[in-house]
A and B are shown apart, each in its own frame.
Chain A
């Protein structure tokens, strides 16, 4: 079975008929025997490496560490307009690099964080902000969770109330007798 799994990743392909004819069905179904301890360690190491690589992405032109730290802190909450699920800090898109350069230049020129963010929202709209501002169009966005919590609480209350009234209704002896009769018949 090992040969089959290897061959699938490259190397000599095993004809489908041979694979189907293999009687060692159990291991075929299990597919993977699981990673050994060494395997897990290697996987973990690979993940750690990719993490550190990611953290370095935006710090390419770190001539001024203070400004770079400000830039990265700010850019983490800004959206890259090209690859929209990446932050401006993490993206390698050309536009993101240009925008980082622009933000860096403005910070060097002594602009405050608010001024730089205003520069970006003036051009790209609130869409660049991962934390949209609280204003009429975003009321539903920000208050939506509270609204749903309220609806949930309402339903919960009504359900409890209904259960209580059910409990308080006296038991109908006739109905119990009828039910017992049906059960006895079976």
Chain B
């Protein structure tokens, strides 16, 4: 028995390393889970006189999708979001993060707009208030305005099925 101890220790170590190897280092645990979505009031892309604030979404389960026209993986995600809103009722707010070249309006005109509102976070400060580290990131916010989930990286159909669908069902969307 005793001679097996080093091998067992080695196997445990390999187990830890293997687990670590397949973790996503971008998936930083968000301190916002279960906390209220930080308030903001921002002008809306394409309607300069209108503003958006999360208050307006009270009573709805909704997604806050942080994206940017300069973000390549957001383009892939854009198509997924388009097909999602075509198939079902879904309120996605698209926070336009640091769009310094002001391309969002044109892009949404050309490629379609999956969002119910596109608040314009030019300075990036609202994104920082939500702990955004890069685009795309998506928050699931419940009826009382609490953040229930955060997803880092583009949403793919598989991720939607596995991660979002059960969460939305749980929240009664």
Q: Residues on A close to B: CB < 8 A?
A: 81-82, 84, 94-95, 98-99, 102, 121-125, 127
Contact = CB atoms under 8 A, between A and B. Distances in A.
Interface in B26-75: 28-31
A81 B133 contact: yes
23 contacts: A81-B133, A81-B134, A84-B25, A95-B124, A95-B128, A95-B133, A95-B134, A98-B124, A99-B128, A102-B125, A102-B128, A122-B31, A123-B31, A123-B128, A123-B130, A123-B131, A124-B131, A124-B133, A125-B30, A125-B31, A125-B131, A127-B28, A127-B29
Contact of B134 (A82, A102, A121, A122): A82
Contact of B28 (A98, A122, A124): A124
B129 interface: yes
A102 B131 CA distance: 13
Interface in B128-161: 128-131, 133-134
A79 B43 CA distance: 31
A123 B134 contact: no
Nearest to B124: A98
B28 A81 contact: yes
Nearest to A127: B28
A164 B146 CA distance: 65
Contact of A121 (B31, B98, B128): B31
Nearest to A94: B98
B8 to A, nearest CB: 14
B114 to A, nearest CB: 25
Contact of A124 (B25, B31, B98, B134): B31
**Interface pairs A-B: 10 shortest CB-CB:** A81-B133, A123-B131, A125-B31, A127-B28, A124-B131, A98-B124, A125-B29, A84-B25, A82-B133, A82-B134
Contacts of B125: 102
A29 to B, nearest CB: 35
Contacts of A99: 128
Contacts of A125: 28-31, 131
The listed residue with most B CB atoms (<10 A of its CB), out of A122, A124, A125, is A124
A1 B121 CA distance: 61
B137 to A, nearest CB: 11
Contacts of A123: 31, 128-131
Contacts of B129: 123
Contacts of A124: 28, 31, 131, 133
Contacts of B124: 95, 98
A124 B98 CA distance: 18
Contacts of A81: 28, 133-134
B110 to A, nearest CB: 26
Contacts of B29: 125, 127
A109 B125 CA distance: 17
A127 B23 CA distance: 15
Contacts of B30: 125
Contacts of B131: 123-125
A159 B25 CA distance: 41
Nearest to A80: B133
Contacts of B128: 95, 98-99, 102, 123
A125 B29 CA distance: 7
Contacts of B98: 94
Interface string B16-29: 00000000010011
